[in-house]
Structure 1
């Protein structure tokens, strides 16, 4: 007699394995614990075999009969249903394993960056990290790398273009392509989607802009006093105040390390690998500059960096943080972090300071045969005098005093 659903539902455990036949090889087995499952007996190559079709009630009697018929049809075609089931399970496990091994773009970036940063200098490694984490990962970071298309990368780059960051698009595109080529090489993904992005015509050409800087005392009065009102994180606020006093490039200032600061002797000494010209650089510190750096000791003294990121004690602030602060203060398009170097150079040259002192302080390379021989401590005494005079001059402007030109070149 064929089974009924009512019969199956009412069947109870009796402490032994029970087998209730439905017919045509299908049966319901009830374990000692009372678990009910459908099984089917079939014959392949003259040998009897059993296959479990599923557990009741998740699998109903009607569904079990349909599965039984499917297995029968497979057997008639010479297919061993147990081997077929094992193969399907293995394929599913392979798919699940592949899913577990898939990387997001953020994971690929971290792996690629960690692999390469040992061979990069600090500035380059920081530039790569900043550009990718600021511009690319917020858009595509959570995407699996094998699903990212050229159109999605273009979308991320177009967002940069809309923000007026056209000068950074090429670098982000290059870094992203290198990242994907690394992934292809290790078998983490099959293609580099950046490879198929057209080289030209797709993005607007950018016009080169001057590095904005102020030189009029009235403008500097507004700027210096505005900087004192900055309400962002303390690292950026202090770096903003220090920037006009030290003539460092934004990356050099943002990445300033405590190991580079000698407060006892009033000096910053930056090694060649952090300098644009790949030469060590010494910066005499004015009294004002020393006080600003000292004010960071309670905040970041236990970190490697003077201007520690508000998000992580093991990283410095982004070099663009200073420019962002200037924009927040209303000086976007008027003054940039790099522009402080131009401000100092313009005014110090106008006021007659020794040109060699100024160029040395800016860490500029010189084609002049005399200036071409670089000594990191060259003109240190004169530059120390100049830097203190410059900080005093800035304080005078900020106070709104009638500032007298500070021509003390000694020339």
Structure 2
């Protein structure tokens, strides 16, 4: 009796998929339609080579139709009859293709597959290091040809132009790309394994410690803020009053600010953690947002770009202000105030706020949530309370202290009301 082939039909296949049950249905002569428990529909050719059963995946349905699957199966069967182990030959070709991949191709594949799982700020920073630092030096090399010696020379050369912090980040990005390559069989070894930045260039300078502005410094800085411009002054005050990051404020839009509820929502895309959160706004913070409205000139951004060049570079589209601008203005302000105030950055305003929250008697968990810091350990796992009421009370106490410093009014420890976490 002749073998029965072409048993399946498109309507049958669609019924199998609709039923959403794992199946393996033969079309005849080794061609089989499979549907996994996860819902992946594919074509497999089952054949024998050297007395052993083998399988060759022909593609997924519906990308590979029933007609095309039969055509591919016929071509593969012809090779099997000629003595070719088609599955092993497919693996060999795939391995050769992976081996021929350049470092730049591997880096592009890494970014495409891994970046969606990382926070937006991490993606931005790592892309800059890959595209701007690593690929210009290693991009054209075959990924498998990059050796530990190449990595050592690369890092050693970077030490002449980059800071220790940047070198650490570049080395991490390089190592992650090669780890990805190992998983994809594009490389055989990770040339970064077994070496470290410290082993290559010695101990790097420690990172600059975050600075806390003292009460005396705040009493000098706050009254002097108008000298750097109204919008810059309001930005600095908002960073202090809300304990937010400069990147979160830079991307803030008026649609995110609810004046009636006295809240500012930072969406997922703008949050460093990748998870949106709501900031309770004190009357002082609301006053800053109100003052910024006419300065925005109808822009959707709370702090729009002022330079025509920036908007032109973005095709005329609205863009937020450049964060480095505020940093430069703060440096000018500190220079103007002389040695009475240490030079500080926008991010130092967060450490300033966090340190003073503790001094004002705010519970450590409430203070950490004011800065949108994730709570580690079991607290972070089980404590899902948003602390909105406690955060608002803490920020109101902090705002009273800030306004007293700005106005030159006295502040005594008797003003402090301990703020504890909810029981």
1:402 corresponding residue in structure 2: 410
- The answer to whether structure 1 residue 345 and structure 2 residue 354 are counterparts is yes
Flag the 1:357–1:180 CA change in 2: closer, same or farther, 3 A: closer
Cα offset, 1:214, TM superposition: 1.4
Would you say the 8 A contact 1:256–1:307 is kept in 2?
Answer: no
CA distance in 1, matches of 2:232, 2:270: 20
| Residues 25-47 of structure 1 deviation map (CA, whole Å, 9 limit, x = unaligned) | xxxxxxxxxxxxxxxxxxxxxxx
- The answer to whether structure 1 residue 244 and structure 2 residue 240 are counterparts is yes
Would you say the 8 A contact 2:242–2:279 is kept in 1?
Answer: yes
CA distance in 1, matches of 2:175, 2:380: 44
Would you say the 8 A contact 2:211–2:352 is kept in 1?
Answer: no
1:359 corresponding residue in structure 2: 368
- The answer to whether structure 1 residue 373 and structure 2 residue 383 are counterparts is yes
2:120 corresponding residue in structure 1: 122
Gaps of 5+ in 2: 1-101, 142-149, 182-186, 336-340
Cα offset, 1:394, TM superposition: 1.3
Q: 1:327 aligns with which of 325, 331, 337?
A: 331
CA distance in 2, matches of 1:109, 1:306: 35
2:62 corresponding residue in structure 1: none
Cα offset, 1:244, TM superposition: 0.9
Q: How many pairs does the alignment contain?
A: 294
CA distance in 2, matches of 1:354, 1:112: 42
- The answer to whether structure 1 residue 387 and structure 2 residue 395 are counterparts is yes
The Cα RMSD (Å) is 5.1
Would you say the 8 A contact 1:353–1:407 is kept in 2?
Answer: no
Flag the 1:302–1:370 CA change in 2: closer, same or farther, 3 A: closer
- The answer to whether structure 1 residue 212 and structure 2 residue 211 are counterparts is yes
| Residues 111-140 of structure 1 deviation map (CA, whole Å, 9 limit, x = unaligned) | 98678654443222233356668xx46xx9
Higher alpha-carbon Rg: 1
Bigger share in helix? 2
Flag the 1:267–1:157 CA change in 2: closer, same or farther, 3 A: farther
CA distance in 1, matches of 2:392, 2:381: 19
The 5 A counterparts of 1:168-187 are 168-175=166-173
Flag the 1:174–1:248 CA change in 2: closer, same or farther, 3 A: same
Cα offset, 1:230, TM superposition: 2.5
- The answer to whether structure 1 residue 301 and structure 2 residue 299 are counterparts is yes
Cα offset, 1:265, TM superposition: 1.7
| Residues 261-289 of structure 1 deviation map (CA, whole Å, 9 limit, x = unaligned) | 32332212234675556654321112332
Cα offset, 1:388, TM superposition: 3.3
The secondary structure found in structure 2 opposite 1:268 is: strand
- The answer to whether structure 1 residue 288 and structure 2 residue 284 are counterparts is yes
CA distance in 2, matches of 1:308, 1:132: 27
Cα offset, 1:371, TM superposition: 9.9
Flag the 1:124–1:344 CA change in 2: closer, same or farther, 3 A: same
